[in-house]
């Protein structure tokens, strides 16, 4: 297998890891005010992701760095064409991180309410814009013969991309609700479970519609099979959630997110950015790749570092695996 293909698969794997892990804490952030009826419950909701949210974002950093090193022309074209959405994602992720870190610095309900608002905004905006971005990657964007983006922001706001953005957000809300049901107790757990069932039905309809549309645009046998398996895994997860088997439910949504993202990358390959103007202008893995020496060096480094990162993150999830209870909180 050529190293360009290996690194395309590696980057796809990094994005799968990012969306699986960051997806549920996006969902938790979106649901912070929905399920957190008072300060004690909102604190419990945030505690479920407190030890892991920053580690989840490492996958985004590594995915971006790997894309820059392995496929510099893909990176350049992507950031020139998607500058505004990606900049908005970056800003809102920063605001979200600041809010999560500084929320508990003052015993003041007004202060914490403002931080909660930033957490919500910093969760829903990236979830929506990542869906918009990846839907446009699959659909294609206007590229000229030099692989330069020649469209406008309006070209990114097409019906398919907007539908994908809503579908991504709905799936993350469901993923987050099931995670909260898995990690909390008593009434908060029951409400998260019920909300996951309702949100999951909406997410299932949107996901099936989006994946079917994506396969119609650019699908092949492999991506169609993965998309079907993703829909099936989501259904299994929702059934398990209905039976209050949150562990199996979370596994179901995890597999569904992973397979759905894998189906999009499979539909995309060997292109990295299809052109809607001329098929000859489509940017492929071979055209976007770094030199063979760079790819070999990256492969050697990744073989050493990536397993260590996975082991550390797995250990952190194991340490903080216990359910979170709602404790009374005294604030001024």
DSSP one-letter string for 122-186:
HHHHHHHHHHHHHHHHHH-B-B-TTS-B---HHHHS-HHHHHHHHHHHHHHHHHHHHHHHHHB-H
Beta bridge partners of 283: 273
Per-residue pLDDT, 274: 92
**200 membership: H or E segment, kind and range:** helix 186-218
User: Which pLDDT belongs to residue 330?
Assistant: 55
Residue 264, pLDDT score? 92
- Tokens in use for 103? 């929320």
- Angle, helix 246-268 to helix 221-242, in steps of 10 degrees: 160
Cα angle, residue 293 at apex, residues 287 and 299 outer, rounded to 5°: 95
| Per-residue model confidence (pLDDT) at position 105 | 84
Cα–Cα dist 78/266, whole Å:
18
- pLDDT the model gives residue 329: 61
Radius of gyration from C-alpha coordinates of the chain: 20
Residues 6+ apart with CB under 8 A from 140: 218, 273, 274, 275, 276, 282
Q: Which of 181, 197, 177 is nearest to 189 (CA)?
A: 181
What is the 8-class DSSP label of residue 225?
H
- Low-confidence stretches of the chain (pLDDT < 70) are 1, 328-332
What is the rounded distance in angstroms from the CA atom of residue 168 to the CA atom of residue 196? 15
- Per-residue confidence (pLDDT) for residue 188, from 0 to 100: 93
Q: Residue 217's pLDDT is what? A: 86
- Residue 225: which of 235, 237, 236, 211 has the closest Cα? 211
pLDDT at 14: 93
| pLDDT of res. 309 | 83
User: Burial of 121 by CB count in 10 Å (0-12 exposed, 13-18 middle, 19+ buried)?
Assistant: middle
């Amino acid at each position: 297998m050529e190293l360009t293909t290996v690194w395309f698969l590696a980057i796809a794997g990094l994005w799968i890891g990012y969306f699986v892990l960051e997806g549920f804490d996006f969902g938790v952030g979106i649901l912070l005010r929905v399920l957190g009826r008072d300060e004690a419950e909102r604190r419990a909701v945030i505690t479920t992701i407190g030890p892991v949210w920053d580690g989840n974002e490492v996958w985004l950093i590594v995915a971006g760095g790997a894309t820059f090193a392995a496929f510099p022309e893909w990176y350049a074209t992507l950031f020139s064409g998607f500058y505004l959405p990606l900049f908005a994602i970056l800003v809102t992720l920063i605001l979200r991180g600041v809010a999560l870190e500084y929320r508990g610095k003052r015993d003041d309900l007004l202060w914490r309410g403002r931080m909660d608002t930033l957490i919500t905004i910093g969760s829903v905006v990236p979830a929506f814009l990542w869906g918009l971005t990846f839907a446009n990657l699959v659909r294609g964007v206007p590229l000229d013969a030099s692989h330069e983006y020649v469209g406008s922001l309006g070209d990114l706001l097409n019906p398919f991309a907007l539908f994908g953005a809503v579908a991504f957000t709905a799936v993350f809300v469901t993923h987050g609700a099931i995670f909260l049901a898995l990690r909390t107790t008593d009434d908060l757990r029951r409400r998260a479970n019920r909300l996951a069932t309702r949100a999951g039905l909406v997410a299932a309809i949107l996901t099936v519609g989006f994946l079917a549309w994506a396969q119609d645009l650019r699908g092949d046998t492999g991506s169609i099979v993965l998309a079907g398996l993703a829909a099936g895994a989501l259904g299994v997860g929702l059934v398990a959630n209905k039976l209050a088997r949150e562990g199996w439910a979370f596994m179901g949504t995890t597999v569904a997110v992973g397979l759905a993202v894998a189906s999009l990358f499979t539909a995309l390959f060997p292109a990295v950015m299809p052109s809607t103007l001329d098929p000859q202008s489509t940017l492929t893995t071979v055209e976007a790749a770094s030199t063979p020496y760079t790819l070999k060096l990256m492969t050697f480094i990744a073989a050493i570092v990536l397993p260590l990162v996975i082991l550390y993150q797995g250990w952190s999830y194991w340490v903080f695996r216990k359910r979170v209870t709602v404790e009374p909180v005294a604030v001024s």
